[in-house]
Amino acid sequence: MLKPRYVPLIALLVLLCSLQAFAQDDVIKKGRALQREQKYDEALQLYRDALKQKPAEDLYIESGSLLGKLQKYDNAMTVLEKGIKDFPQSTSLKNLMALILVRKGDKEKAKAMLEEVIAADSDNSFALSWLDKLKSSQTSGTEPADEQSSSSSSTSLSGSGSTTGAFSVDSSLPEDQQKELAKKLYQEMMELEKWELDSFKELHRKVIEKCPATAQAEESCWRLSNLYMLGEDPPDFQSVIDVLEHLLKQYPDTPLLPDAKNRLLIACQQTNQMDKVVAIYEELFTRDPEPADDKTFMVRALEFGDALSAVGRAAEAQEWYQKVLVRDDGKDSLEARVARERLTGGN
């Protein structure tokens, strides 16, 4: 049993470790935000500065992944070599190093690295898969397919079935078998390295298409939209639209409906698909014609008016701009000023 005088010291150590973890997560969030803004040099500098203060496995992975994405393979190897030196038991860092070596064309070193991973973790799915690809390519004389090429064939994963936008749904499996398959596919995702975004996309698509009667299919729609929205640089808004339109058509009563509608609206606005923006707002105002919050109503009405104007329904747009002014009731909010400009012909 611990003596009382040691308890505060242990509590302090636990607190310090927690604070370090929070700080590391904050750096990664900021770095990913910079990447989405295509500020790659700033993101890399952020990771470098953080690593100087406190080496961390996840920071090495973030930095190495970004350098690999930018095809700065030699720089990526330098970072990963340092990471592996600091964290010699990290199979994630070694797997990423193996992938960089593949892309550099050094297959023998890549195989050696993967074999090192398997020696430490015989069930490591990434290492096993890539080692098999490398051995097969050596036998056939072809290049091993990486995540990019494998994901491009994801639309052929489904069998015969109904087509919903960008997805071909196959309901031929009995529901219990669909549940088993969905469970298996999610288990595969749990074993992926977190930077294997294309593999995640491929598996979520397979859940959506092969297991439509399961709760996981709805969840995969939302997670796949997350990957397109947050994992791409810049965001792949058209793919966000495709998957969310499928979600709303296939599962009209989904509890994800409010969030899905909001994200779909943003994606349609970003791609200038104003006809779809109009349709979303028409449905929204039918369902909730008078939001209690003035700000919410005015923002929605202003955006609806702009969308109506963009599709040539100018008279209706004017009506909605006028509704903004009525709801503002002389407070001269930003929304009211913009609506007034629209009514008087300003931009």
Average pLDDT over residues 234-255: 93
Diameter of the chain by CA atoms?
Answer: 79
d(CA 227, CA 216): 16
- Note whether residue 207 is domain-resident: yes
pLDDT for position 148: 40
Q: Is the domain of 214 the same as that of 249?
A: yes
Q: Is the domain of 83 the same as that of 137?
A: yes
Confidence label for 289 from pLDDT (cuts 50, 70 and 90): confident
Q: Out of 17-31, 71-85, 195-209, 223-237, which region has the weakest mean confidence (pLDDT)? A: 17-31
Confidence label for 17 from pLDDT (cuts 50, 70 and 90): very low
pLDDT score of 27 more than 90: no
d(CA 78, CA 340): 58
Residue with tokens 């294997």: 196
- Note whether residue 61 is domain-resident: yes
The CATH number assigned to the domain holding 227 equals 1.25.40
Q: Is the domain of 290 the same as that of 230?
A: no
d(CA 159, CA 210): 8
Average predicted confidence (pLDDT) for the chain: 84
197 neighbors 230 (Cβ within 8 angstroms): no
Q: Is the domain of 214 the same as that of 189?
A: yes
Q: Is the domain of 213 the same as that of 316?
A: no
Strands (E), 155-264: 162-164, 167-169
Q: Is the domain of 28 the same as that of 77?
A: yes
Q: Is the domain of 20 the same as that of 122?
A: yes
Which structural domain range is residue 100 located in? 15-144
- Note whether residue 9 is domain-resident: no
Of 144, 170, 203, the residue that ends a domain is: 144
Q: Is the domain of 137 the same as that of 52?
A: yes
Q: Is the domain of 176 the same as that of 253?
A: yes
Q: Is the domain of 138 the same as that of 22?
A: yes
Find the radius of gyration of the CA atoms of the chain: 25
Q: What is the torsional sign of CA 82, 86, 88, 94?
A: negative
Number of structural domains in the chain: 3
Lookup: tokens for 51: 């690593």
Q: Is the domain of 92 the same as that of 172?
A: no
